[in-house]
Amino acid sequence: DTAVSQTPKYLVTQMGNDKSIKCEQNLGHDTMYWYKQDSKKFLKIMFSYNNKELIINETVPNRFSPKSPDKAHLNLHINSLELGDSAVYFCASSQGTYYGYTFGSGTRLTVV
């Protein structure tokens, strides 16, 4: 019974396309996140939602739009994909921030 699940696990798409990555958590956590791990292995926060409300929005192109229909789901939609968007995207959730995050297994996005 996966705590934080992301779909799809792999995504290969052409430049210019629009794609979505879905994330769901069954832990009852109130906060969800999207992180990006680039080719240099930096794990950088992109967005954070607390109870469906956006609380962190790092410097991310506005082609990236998170959507949280409820506190158990946080989806990431990316418009007009570019080569530089190729990375592994991790969804995570937490209840507060003292206990760390529970991460999903990641979505490897490859833009060709």
Q: Select from 16, 18, 56, 84 the one that contacts other proteins (CB under 8 A).
A: 56
What are the strands, taking DSSP E only, across the chain? 4-7, 10-13, 19-25, 31-37, 43-50, 53-57, 64-70, 73-78, 87-94, 102-103, 107-111
* C-beta of 70 vs 99, nearer to other proteins: 99
Can residue 98 be called a binding residue for other proteins (CB under 8 A)? Answer: yes
**45 binding other proteins? (CB under 8 A):** yes
Binding site for other proteins (CB under 8 A): 4, 35, 40-45, 48, 55-56, 90, 92, 97-106
